[in-house]
Amino acid sequence: MLPMLLALSLWSPDVKSGEPVRKPFVWNKNGCEGMNRTPRLRWNAPPRGTRAFDLTVIDHDAPKPGGWVHWIVTDIPASARALGPKVPRGAVVGKNDFGTLGWGGPCPPPGPAHHYTFVLQAIDANKRTLTSAKLVPVYKR
């Protein structure tokens, strides 16, 4: 029998599920006039056995197979409870689909709103996902 895992919760003072991404966090090129500030994220304690966290932010509404990657951070230490413009020591920041490291804010083509899926995964020593949490704000240009 597997032990019951406590739910992982993810929240942010900057982006909220179902709400529009505000201008400070929108991309600042390609016809978008945001400030491309990195949103701050917070989460609660992970389940026992967590060795690291991985974060991805993907726009699955984008006309690109697999969606448009806006942010990837891997190997976030298990002791971390926040992420933002500065990442914890040991975390690895990946390239987004704009070709830059770190956060690349929303900048969809004009049309219907796009959904930006923030997924935080608690990872064990064998690189398996123990649990995950998500936020899904929206943006329309």
Q: Tens digit of pLDDT for each residue in 31-66?
A: 999 999 999 999 999 999 999 999 999 999 999 999
Kind of pairing between the strands at 129-135 and 138-139: unpaired
Report pTM: 0.93
Q: How much is the pLDDT for 119?
A: 98
User: Is the pLDDT assigned to residue 113 strictly greater than 80?
Assistant: yes
Mean pLDDT over all residues of the chain? Answer: 94
Spatial separation of the C-alpha atoms in residues 133 and 114, rounded to whole Å: 19
Q: How much is the pLDDT for 24?
A: 98
User: Is the pLDDT assigned to residue 3 strictly greater than 70?
Assistant: no
State both tokens at 10.
């993810």
Spatial separation of the C-alpha atoms in residues 39 and 25, rounded to whole Å: 7
Residue-wise pLDDT tens digits, 73-84: 999 999 999 999
Assign domain 10-139 to a CATH class: alpha beta
Confidence of residue 5 (pLDDT cuts 50, 70, 90): low
Q: How much is the pLDDT for 6?
A: 61
User: Is the pLDDT assigned to residue 130 strictly greater than 50?
Assistant: yes
Residue burial 126-136, b: 16+ Cβ < 10 Å; e: rest? eeeebebbebb
- On whether the CB atoms of residues 49 and 124 are closer than 8 A, the answer is yes
Residue ranges per domain, the chain? Answer: 10-139
State both tokens at 47.
């389940």
Strand partners, 56: 72, 119
Strand partners, 55: 73, 120
